[in-house]
Amino acid sequence: ELHLVESGGGLVQPGGSLRLSCAASGFSISDYHMDWVRQAPGKGLEWVGRTEKKGLIANTRYAAFVKGRFTISRDDAQSSLFLQMNSLTIEDTAVYYCVRGYNGLDPWGQGTLVSVSS
């Protein structure tokens, strides 16, 4: 069975940093693009970014709101995905989901909550 498990969420002050992790099981992330999607409380889904699987050109692309503050990375050997978030604002408060970028976006992790507050 395919599983994605996020960790690393929590409470952080505005301007702070947080690093989220995502552990995959049941498949090797080296064969897939991997995405982060977030959802603010009571709001809709928002795509954060994608790291493409290794190939001739393996891009990492972000939504406009990231503005250079977030970095997505991957460790294929450990089948792990990361999201480094810096300069956090209260607007970044959300549940962050790790998702495999295959057949649409599937499967999804259970999400980890990031709360930005003073």
In this complex, which beta carbon is closest to another protein, that of residue 23 or of residue 63? 63
User: Which span sits near another protein by CB under 8 A: 9-17, 23-31, 76-84, 107-115?
Assistant: 107-115
In this complex, which beta carbon is closest to another protein, that of residue 73 or of residue 110? 110
Q: Report the 3 state secondary structure along the chain.
A: CCEEEEECCEEECCCCCEEEEEEEECCCHHHCEEEEEEECCCCCEEEEEEECCCCCCCCEEECHHHCCCEEEEEEHHHCEEEEEECCCCHHHCEEEEEEEECCCCCCECCCEEEEECC
Nearest distance in Å: CB 109, another protein? 7
**Could you say whether residue 67 binds another protein (CB under 8 A)?**
no
**Could you say whether residue 55 binds another protein (CB under 8 A)?**
no
Q: Which of 56, 58, 115 minimizes the C-alpha distance to 90?
A: 115
**Could you say whether residue 3 binds another protein (CB under 8 A)?**
no
Residues within window 13-52 making contact with another protein, judged by CB under 8 A: 35, 37, 44-47, 50
Residues lying near another protein in the complex (CB under 8 A) are found at 35, 37, 44-47, 50, 61-64, 97, 101, 103-111
